[in-house]
Chains A and B, each alone.
Chain A
Amino acid sequence: RKEVEQDPGPFNVPEGATVAFNCTYSNSASQSFFWYRQDCRKEPKLLMSVYSSGNEDGRFTAQLNRASQYISLLIRDSKLSDSATYLCVVKRDTGFQKLVFGTGTRLLVSP
C-alpha cells in the first residue's frame, strides 16, 4: 500500500464548478501536510499547507482529519488556469524531514 493515496482522475469540470480532491495517508507519524500543484512537464509548486483547523486561501480550502488520516482540497469557482495535477504531500517530522508525494490528481477545467 502506498504511503499517500490519491484518486488519479482526471476530473473534468466546467468553468465555475466546485471540485474536491481527497487523499489518505498511512503513516500516523506524519505531521505536516501540503497540497502542491504541478503543471504539465514542470516542477511541483507549493499551493498551500494544510492545518488541523482547516485553512482557506482564496478559492482554495484545505482540510485535515488526523483521526481518519485524510486530507482534502476544495476548489471553488474553477478557472481554466486551475487545470493541473494536484499532489497531496505529507512530511514526517521525526529524525530528518522528507516530503512524501501522492500520485497526484489531474484536473481539467473546460470552457
Chain B
Amino acid sequence: DAGVTQSPTHLIKTRGQQVTLRCSPKSGHDTVSWYQQALGQGPQFIFQYYEEEERQRGNFPDRFSGHQFPNYSSELNVNALLLGDSALYLCASSLEVRGNRLGNYGYTFGSGTRLTVV
C-alpha cells in the first residue's frame, strides 16, 4: 500500500524561474492538500484539491497555483520564484468522508520536496 509520493525530493531554482512539484496520494485517498514549511516554522496551508477543484486556499499569492488530475494526483506550480519561497513543500492526502466530523480523516503526508531558490 503506497503512501504519499512526492517528486522531486530536492530542487534548486533561480529567482524568477517557475517550478512544478508533484504529488501522488495514498491509495484510496481522493483529497490533496499542499503545505509550505519554512525553516523553523510549522507547515502553512497553501490550498486543497478535491474533485479536481481548488476548495480553499491559505494566505498565498496567485503565483502559487495547482491542479488535481482524474487519478487524484496533484501538482503545485510556483511562478516568479522569490528567495522567500525556499521551503519544504509537503503534500498530504486524505479521504473525504461526508458527515464524519471527527478524526483526521487519515491525513498522510509525503516526505516533501525541499525547494531552494538562489
B is a partner of A: yes
Given the contacts A44-B90, A98-B56, A93 and B102 also touching, CB distance less than 8 Å: yes
Per-residue interface assignment for chain B, residues 16 to 44, with 1 indicating a CB less than 8 Å from any chain A CB and 0 otherwise: 00000000000000000101000011111
Per-residue interface assignment for chain B, residues 107 to 118, with 1 indicating a CB less than 8 Å from any chain A CB and 0 otherwise: 101111010000
> Are B45 and A43 in touch, CB under 8 angstroms?
no
B70 at interface (Cβ–Cβ under 8 A)?
Answer: no
A interface residues, how many (CB within 8 angstroms): 26
Per-residue interface assignment for chain A, residues 91 to 104, with 1 indicating a CB less than 8 Å from any chain B CB and 0 otherwise: 10101111111111
Please indicate the chain B residues that have their CB under 8 angstroms from the CB of A103 in the complex: 40-42
Closest Cβ of chain B to A31, distance in Å, is 7
The complex places the Cα of A6 from the Cα of B107 at a distance, in Å, of 22
The complex places the Cα of A104 from the Cα of B42 at a distance, in Å, of 6
B71 at interface (Cβ–Cβ under 8 A)?
Answer: no
**Residue among B40, B43, B101, B105 with the most chain A CB within 10 A?**
B43
A-B complex: 7 closest residue pairs judged by Cβ atoms: A101-B42, A43-B109, A93-B101, A103-B42, A101-B43, A43-B111, A96-B55
Given A32-B102, A97-B94, A101-B42, list of 7 further CB < 8 A pairs? Answer: A43-B111, A44-B90, A49-B103, A93-B102, A99-B43, A103-B42, A104-B42
Residues of A within 8 A of B (CB): 4, 6, 8, 31-32, 34, 41-46, 49, 87, 91, 93, 95-104
